[in-house]
Structure 1
Amino acid sequence: MSITIRPVTGYAEYTACEALQRVVWPDSVVPLNMLYTAQNNGGVVLGAFDEATPGTPLVGFVFGFMGRDGNNPIKHCSHMAAVLPNYRDTRIGERLKLAQRDAVVAQGIEVMTWTFDPLLSRNARLNIRKLGGITRTYKDNVYGPDPVPDDQLPSDRFVVEWWLNAPRVLTRLSHPEQAPSVAELLEDSILLNPDPMLPSLPIQGKRLVLRIPSQIDALRESDFARAKAWRGQLRMAAKDAFDLGYHIADFASDEGYGYYLLVHEPV
């Protein structure tokens, strides 16, 4: 496999971005005219192309644009990052985010934000552990519907803040092998939610840990009530911790669970 990351150009490649979105998100497609307009007005649209396959197909892409939060300086809002299913777990998503970072840093922008489902271990590992993002904002049911049907989970999201030139980020990017084990993450920490069917523990201390299932999609199919309990418990515990000044600073996982580390210290 030989993957090249570069800006998307031309009608055929923008159309390929549309087609890839239909595979990953069948009900939500950003059309090529919006991708083109954003890319030519300060936005970023990067593709991952498989050079080893005839026709050099697009197998992944990222898309983002400039934005701002209230009175804060300009930021980059990363809206989409997708990789075809048969190319996942090959670091393409990570490479796309790093290339996006390079493009945004070249614009003089210091922070990038995006959202992800807090119950997805794969995304947490990339966003928090590998890239060095933090989160201190929880958003309920971002994409609806409202009310949520009984057979669906609310579309809750963490907001990732990626401070592109922060020392902690540069350290993570230059020393990816220094990831903590679950035991190291739990050491001197309070595990707030050992069981989703029971109340969380009181929030206290400098280091907290929130547990999530490692395979929420499989759990949703096999035991929906338990998956829903994870969603509700994590929502309440995370929002309470964020309100008290904690933020998520690290992540580790084993075969059964993922673990978010929350700290009460300056970002």
Structure 2
Amino acid sequence: MREAPASLPLRPYVIRDVTDPWAMRGLEGVQVDAWGYPDREVLPSSMFRISSVCGGVVLGAYPADAPSEGSSAAPALPFGLAFGFPALRDGQLWHHSHLLAVHPDWRGSGLAVALKYAQRERVLAQGITRMTWTFDPLIARNARLNLGKLGARAISYHPDWYALGDDPATAFPADRLMIEWDLSQPRAAHPPPAPDGEVVLAALPEGEEPDAPRLGLDSPQVLAEVPRKAELMNEPLRLGWRLALREVLGEYLGRGYVVTDLAADGEQVYYVLTRE
């Protein structure tokens, strides 16, 4: 059991394996709270149930005094979840983490990190030492979690990973970065480093729009700026950054670079791309 930081009006919590199909229904609500998903986008409890008996990991975060599964008391509502399943391709076995969701009131509390480490513990117990997942490269706070707090790295860029609309011509592109986490050698959390490297993408000096990407550099380390709070921008501006990051990250990751960290200089933040 862990305590939430004293600065937040949050209660002590516990992270549990969710195995009861009725308790899994509560995990549907966590997705709605975290992302405002419509019904058609919510992963249903039936998928959690099937995965839980086929090698998947289904975790929920609950108040510390919540009744245990199987109790006659009414089930407590979770406010966080982590979900993943074994993946196999070309003879390689790993764990793919499909969902990490935290109620907005719990963002910044450390719960997301605790859920990932609880998931790591379960996966290592299965004899698996590698975990992957995807995240939106426009969301800097998630980049900070994945790269700076967990010590994972982004290895590939995937345009239009999901179809989040009926018409591809009008839907906002759901591009994603693929994260890889070596579970056998986790890196300690660290503060954002200062930017170090040639800048291949940055905002225009006179505004918030991205400048033209620089795609031909061959430095050992380069920097690509990402808006600190792109989710607060209007859609045309967000789309401009989406396409600029798609061009830059797709180019450099395709040439053997990986995203190893998120650097910060005041209000400006940059992806750190290192050539391997």
TM-score calculated relative to the size of structure 1: 0.86
Residue 238, structure 1, aligned to residue 252, structure 2: no
Aligned partner of 2:42 among 3, 22, 29: 29
Alignment of 1:216 with 2:236, yes or no, is no
Supply the distance in 1 between the matched residues of 2:167 and 2:42 (Cα, whole angstroms). Answer: 24
Q: Is the 8 A contact 1:22 1:28 kept in 2?
A: no
Are the counterparts in 2 of residues 42 and 66 from structure 1 also a CA contact under 8 Å?
yes
SS in 2 for 1:263: strand
* Structure 2 letter corresponding to 1:164: L
Q: Indicate conservation of the 8 Å contact 1:21/1:28, yes or no.
A: no
Letter of the 1:190 counterpart: E
Q: Give the secondary structure class of the aligned counterpart of 2:43.
A: coil
Q: Residue 103 of structure 1: CA displacement?
A: 0.4
Task: Give me the whole-angstrom Cα distance separating, in 2, the residues matched to 1:89 and 1:52.
Answer: 22
State the match for 1:263 in structure 2. Answer: 274
Q: 2: distance between equivalents of 1:22 and 1:194?
A: 33
Is 2:32 aligned against 1:19?
no
Q: Match of 1:204, SS?
A: coil
Q: How does 1:128-147 map to 2 (within 5 A)?
A: 128-144=147-163, 145=165
Q: Is the 8 A contact 1:141 1:155 kept in 2?
A: yes
Q: Does 1:67 align with 2:87?
A: yes
* Residues 66/91 of structure 1: CA separation in 2 closer, same or farther (3 Å cut): same
Higher helix share: 1
Which blocks of at least 5 consecutive residues in structure 2 are unaligned? Answer: 1-10, 68-74, 204-208
Contact residue 78 and residue 114 of structure 1 kept, 8 A: yes
CA RMSD between the two structures: 2.0
What letter corresponds to residue 93 of structure 1 in structure 2? A
Alpha-carbon distance between aligned partners in 2 of 1:87 and 1:105, rounded to the nearest angstrom: 26
| Long gaps (5+) in structure 1 | none
Select which of 203, 216, 223 maps to 2:217.
203
- 1:228 Cα deviation (Å)? 1.2
Q: Provide the C-alpha distance between the structure 1 equivalents of 2:66 and 2:93, rounded to a whole number of angstroms.
A: 39
Query: Structure 1 residues 257 and 52 mapped into 2: Cα distance closer, same or farther (>3 Å)?
Result: farther
Instruction: Please tell me whether residue 83 in structure 1 is matched to residue 102 in structure 2.
Output: yes
State the aligned residue count: 249
Q: In 2, Cα distance between the equivalents of 1:58 and 1:130?
A: 23
Deviation at 1:31, TM superposition (A): 1.9
